[in-house]
Amino acid sequence: MKHIKIISSGNKEIFPFALPIGIGLIDSAINLTKLCEFDKPDFLIFIGSAGSYGNLKPFDIFESKAASNIEHCFFKNDCYTPIDNIISLSDVSRETIVNSSNYITTDELISKAYLKLNIQAENMEFFSVLKVAKEYNIPALGIFVVTNYCHKEAHKEYVSNIKKAKEKLIEYLLEKQIIKEVK
């Protein structure tokens, strides 16, 4: 029987069937690495919220195996990186790419710039999750529910929608038989 581990970030995204690994790129990478060292799963499923850069609507649910780590300075040509900042565990051309940063986008013009790169959403942890999964040769999948658009009121919209979004995500996981029940 496969050892499948469902993980989430934590804080407002706690689920009784998921292990919280921490918020942001660093804490999630550290804690997921510890998990892989001491209780390596055969498959990882990361669940959580995502902000939409414009094409996805609040409460849409999507799956992905592709993430990027692009900071806003990229769009102003004010920075560069020596790292490979896109990771995919499948054919990236068919994936919904999720950008990860320790900062939430609140500028609609920046959101449009991400869309031009075919990046549809953001989640703070997913790039780290895929990077660790790839390092340990563990297949992984992200399942996301959109809580907000990336604009000035992003946080307010997130707070307003997170409870309903979590309910919809749980319904999806039950429907897809990823989980059997919620205790």
pLDDT in tens, 119-169: 999 999 999 999 999 999 999 999 999 999 999 999 999 999 999 999 999
Predicted confidence at residue 94, as pLDDT, reads 74
pLDDT of residue 1: 59
Answer yes or no: are the C-beta atoms of 173 and 1 closer than 8 Å: no
Q: Which residues of 94-121 are buried (b: 16+ CB within 10 A; e: fewer)?
A: ebbbbbbbeeebeeeebbebbeeeebbb
What pLDDT is stored for residue 92 in this prediction? 62
| Residue spans of the chain under pLDDT 50 | none
CA–CA separation, 75 vs 77, rounded Å? 6
Task: Measure the CA angle with vertex 61, ends 33 and 179; round to 5°.
Answer: 60
- Distance between CA atoms of residues 49 and 94, nearest Å: 21
Give burial (CB, 10 Å; 0-12/13-18/19+) of 60. middle
The phi, psi pair for 41, rounded to 5°, reads -80, 165
By three-state DSSP, how is residue 42 classified?
Answer: coil
